[in-house]
A and B are shown apart, each in its own frame.
Chain A
Amino acid sequence: MSKQINVALIGNPNTGKTSVFNALTGLNQKVGNYPGITVDKKEGICKLSRGVKAHILDLPGTYSLNASSLDENVVIELLLNKNDKNYPDVAVIVSDVENLKRNLLLFTQIKDLKIPTILAINMADRMSRKGISLDIELLEKELKTKITLVSTRKNEGITDLKALIENYKTLSTEPCLDTSTIDTEYFNSLKQAFPNQDLYKLWVVISQDANFGKIDRNELDFSKFKTKSKSELKRLQQKETIKRYQFINGVLKEGQTIDVTKAKGLRAQFDRVLTHKVWGYVIFFVILLTIFQAIYDWATVPMDFIDSSFASLADWIKVTFSGGGKLTNLIAEGVVAGIGGIVIFIPQIAFLFLFIAVLEESGYMSRVVFLMDRIMRRFGLSGKSIVPLISGTACAIPAIMATRNIENWKERLITILVTPFTTCSARLPVYLIIIALVIPEGRFLGLSYQALTLMLLYLIGFGMAVFSAYILDKILKTNRKTFFVIEMPSYKVPLLKNVILTVIEKTKTFVFEAGRIILAISIVLWILASYGPGKEFNNAETIVEQTYPELQGEQLENKVASYKLEHSFIGIVGKTIEPAIRPLGYDWKIGIGLVTSFAAREVFVGTLATIYSVGSALDDDDKTIKNRMANEVHDNGKKVFTLASGISLLLFYAFAMQCMSTLAIVKRETNSWKWPMIQLFGMSLIAYIVALIAFQILK
């Protein structure tokens, strides 16, 4: 097999690198009109002609070779390490035709590293409406490279790009300009001290901001070399930047013409409203309201359908395979009930992902960052924290990854710590079923009480996140300077294909990830609930008949089933923790749900579904999970799910840290077990106390 060509896609944030990646590889990585969608490396394979393959690497966006946040650092580390297995044979600089000037800064830096470089000028479809025309031939000559105009939206230029990649060996590796003239003396002494090293690479390593440039300096021993002070270095970097822009301006003066009279754009008109001091906030609030109304109201039709379908499926299995004994029961009561508990939430979760995708693709997200920065700063957060906090409503895991573009470590850490308070989609199943049980139907100003309760829960989660950020801001000390720069992308009509793909991908992942855990847990649960130690479990029939001689037929069966459950393995676990959760208004069955939920919250509904279907002999109108829960009673005949216990449960789930995957990701992102442990114990303690207070007041 011939060697693969290593290709790295590099460029400023939001220039369409991932779109180009998807076009080259046929994969579907997430695309979004917000700087910082990609925060880690992604790999794919692209087939070129004659059996040659290219290994394509999609990277986070960066403005230059000086990292100022973690995601940018990924790129610099790769480019400075020739031994990295992904070190590019050829770099494709993806740039935005609307802002070539700034994009070329990074381009000239990469050229200085003597990596063969192709310039892919993306978004070519926008040239005519912006009145831009380019003299490609001249630009190729001046920039000493090959250029291709690309439009991933129109699928243009990708074939040309492939051809250029294939012939990468013919590309010039000559730098565009000589940077050493910014301080000839200094660069000469550098050259003398490290004769075998590439001069520009040395300079990049030396000038790297210590906060992020964790680049391994070991191979270079700077101890015997007199380096400059931090401010001297900074001055030199500034000089370098000015010099590069002089060169770029010179090139573009000849190679680019912009006819301003032809330039059309709705940026100003949209911004006037969307970032307005008053309307901006009103619109943001209305958008949020719409999302909740959609999740709650519009999704109920498909949900009811799914719920009853699964109930009939379980029934059908029981009837059809009635000869199957225990196995039939396992499938009908354990597996189907458990899976049904998660499939039912697909409509809502898809809605949520849909809205988030549209907000990101349109370019609106950056405007929200702008509106919220000042407010968020009061609480020790950054305006950029709003994006993790919003996308945390889908799932905390990508949200925590999304904090990587926050420049300031303290603001980033606080954002990571408080993000799990936002209402993620895994809480949704729990909320929805409990709200449906305990909150009355009815409407207020056209919005249903149930939708309002849901909205309130989101607000509580968000409020708790912000409040604990405030506390953490007071506790955590740091002397690092904060700064904040965010690009405001131009507005784009969301590409339907991108949006749909994102929604499908994410929903699929959610269902399969959650489905796996739920499947495993429901099987284990079912076994633990169907077997038990001792004579109480095994002689349940006799004992019940003796204690309640008056019971007959179905009633007797029910009593036996629940007696058995109580004395099964899982029943014993539930009974053991019951004293601790009684004050919160829960019985031992809910207790079992709480225990399993520490693996992942969404397991709760499935667990209860399994437990209640094991614990009762079915009759016809008792089939759906919701009905079973509604009919649950305590020993004294009082209903288990009342307003008090329901609210208490809702609050417990709002605050408790019940997600192993999130803890794992926090460990990875903060590089220590300290922070995830603080989250686990801190959040769960808060949950317990709040739920306790709520139940004691309401009962």
Chain B
Amino acid sequence: MSLTIADLKKGEKAIIVDSSSEDIPLKLLEMGCLPGNIVELLQVAPFHDPIYLNINDSYLAIRKETAALILIDIINE
């Protein structure tokens, strides 16, 4: 089973592996949500939804359902 952005914990960083699912809005890709870029989870709202991220130096919030479509590898520091 592969990890997605929805599995990230607060403060964790990861590398995006795949964001090609059709249900990911293009806008998100244009904001830098592309394979190879780094994503960090900054804050979460109650129920872990929505979540506040730093993707490729863009600060943005997305809903959990979208986050669950973006595959990642967690970076261990």
Please report A residues at the B interface, Cβ cutoff 8 Å.
63-64, 66, 68, 99, 101-102, 105, 209, 231, 234-235, 237-238, 241-242, 245, 267-268, 271-272, 275-277, 366, 369-371, 373-374, 377, 383, 407, 481, 483-490
Contact = CB atoms under 8 A, between A and B. Distances in A.
Given A484-B63, A484-B66, A488-B60, A374 B47 contact: yes
Contact of B61 (A235, A245, A377, A486): A486
B23 A481 contact: yes
8 contacts: A64-B26, A66-B27, A241-B34, A271-B43, A407-B27, A485-B25, A487-B58, A488-B52
Contacts of A267: 59
A237 B26 contact: yes
Contact of B57 (A99, A238, A272, A370): A99
Give the secondary structure class of A's interface.
Answer: helix
B27 A488 contact: no
B58 A102 contact: yes
Interface of B: 19-20, 22-23, 25-32, 34-35, 42-47, 49-50, 52, 56-63, 66
B50 A373 contact: yes
A374 B50 contact: yes
B22 A370 contact: no
Nearest to A106: B30
Contact of B32 (A101, A369, A377, A383): A101
Nearest to B49: A374
Contacts of B59: 267, 487-490
B61 A68 contact: no
Closest 5 CB pairs of A and B: A488-B59, A483-B25, A275-B43, A64-B30, A370-B61
Given A373-B61, A484-B63, A102 B26 contact: no
A66 B46 contact: no
Most buried by A among B29, B58, B66: B29
A531 to B, nearest CB: 62
A626 to B, nearest CB: 45
Nearest to B48: A374
A369 B59 CA distance: 14
A231 B22 contact: yes
Nearest to A100: B57
Contact of B31 (A66, A481, A485): A485
Contacts of A481: 23
Contact of B42 (A101, A242, A268, A383): A268
Nearest to A490: B59
A282 to B, nearest CB: 13
Given A277-B45, A488-B61, A370 B50 contact: yes
Given A102-B56, A374-B49, A487-B60, A209 B28 contact: no
Contacts of B20: 235, 238
Contacts of A377: 63
Most buried by A among B32, B35, B44, B47: B32
Given A102-B56, A234-B26, A277-B44, 18 more contacts: A63-B27, A64-B30, A99-B57, A102-B58, A231-B22, A237-B29, A241-B26, A267-B59, A271-B43, A271-B52, A366-B61, A370-B45, A373-B45, A373-B50, A407-B27, A484-B63, A485-B28, A487-B59
B22 A245 contact: no
Contacts of A105: 30
